Structure 1
């Protein structure tokens, strides 16, 4: 093997690796597609996040306006919404885990 061939081989391998990596990345889903897929799998989590953010926002607005009673109530609603969101997340993860296990068991 000549000196020129020794230098060109690693370079060609690097180019091929880069092409392979770019091909793999082209098949990845976009952020929007991933969000839609995950929303369809467990729609309660993003809905719960929106409810939590809404209760927090309205509670802070009420606090700014001096409506202490409404502010306190909205903070309690926020805690409830957060708890339900975490519960939905746990149930979704458990359901996904169970579905993955069934797929593995049926493929054997």
Structure 2
């Protein structure tokens, strides 16, 4: 995979946990109990797509700018986007998108959950 740093990068974010959904072949990343990213693997176990959540307008804009950003695989096509791991999306942009996904989901948590995760 081109973006081998993703697991370490996401797990370094405050309050992040992960699991493996074996029947889907996905590694999912959560803030609190809400998923904000997933690395999806193909039948050979190779990383294939990275799912992340964005504001709908930003997701639509990025899909027009990058052929390797597509509507979310197996997800809500309005809020979720997939980045192809064999594509040309710059690392710094992908890091920015992953952070936006994290903060978007974090902002939807209850104030109590946000405080617990921030401490």
TM-score range, shorter chain: under 0.3
Larger proportion of strand: 2
Larger proportion of helix: 1
Larger radius of gyration: 1
> With structure 1 as the length reference, what TM-score do the two structures score?
0.26
> With structure 2 as the length reference, what TM-score do the two structures score?
0.24
